[in-house]
């Protein structure tokens, strides 16, 4: 499984767009990039997944450059409720695959 590197923490204000970048230089050809969100005292929650280019859903966008060695999770107009830990994971998109969580990025949103 490819190792990922992401900032330990980020601060933002309500209404701003937040971009969290994840570095994964050793990503394999069949690896997908997946982001999870975790609130205190809760289990992680799937946000978005992509393989290349751009993916957008109702919660976030995921930008992946052509070389796939990094990816950026974009959260539009964050609110206080977006304060959480965000994990970037890279691995094969296969059922039964164990997820390898790093330390994640702690996002703090202030008013």
Partner 1 sequence: DAGITQSPRHKVTETGTPVTLRCHQTENHRYMYWYRQDPGHGLRLIHYSYGVKDTDKGEVSDGYSVSRSKTEDFLLTLESATSSQTSVYFCAISDSRRQSYEQYFGPGTRLTVT
In the window 10-39, what residues touch partner 1 (CB under 8 A)?
32, 34
Rounded CA gap, 109 and 93, in Å? 31
The minimum distance between CB 97 and partner 1, in angstroms, equals: 7
Number of residues that bind partner 1 (CB under 8 A): 22
Q: Taking the complex as a whole, how short is the minimal distance between the CB of residue 68 and partner 1, in angstroms?
A: 17
The reply on whether position 42 binds partner 1 by CB under 8 A is: yes
Q: Which of 32, 15, 39 lies closest to 92, judged by CA?
A: 32
Q: Is 82 helix (H, G, I), strand (E, B) or coil?
A: helix
Q: Which two tokens stand for residue 36?
A: 């999870």
* Shorter beta-carbon distance to partner 1: residue 45 or 52: 45
């Amino acid at each position: 499984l490819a190792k990922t590197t992401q900032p330990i923490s980020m601060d933002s204000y309500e209404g701003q767009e937040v971009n969290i970048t994840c570095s994964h230089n050793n990503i394999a050809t069949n690896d997908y990039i997946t982001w999870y969100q975790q609130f205190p005292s809760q289990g992680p929650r799937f946000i978005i997944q992509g393989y290349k280019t751009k993916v957008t859903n109702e919660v976030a966008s995921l930008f992946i450059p052509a070389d796939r060695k990094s990816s950026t999770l974009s959260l539009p107009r964050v609110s206080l409720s977006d304060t959480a830990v965000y994990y970037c994971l890279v691995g094969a998109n296969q059922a039964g695959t164990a997820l390898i969580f790093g330390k994640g990025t702690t996002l703090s949103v202030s008013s």
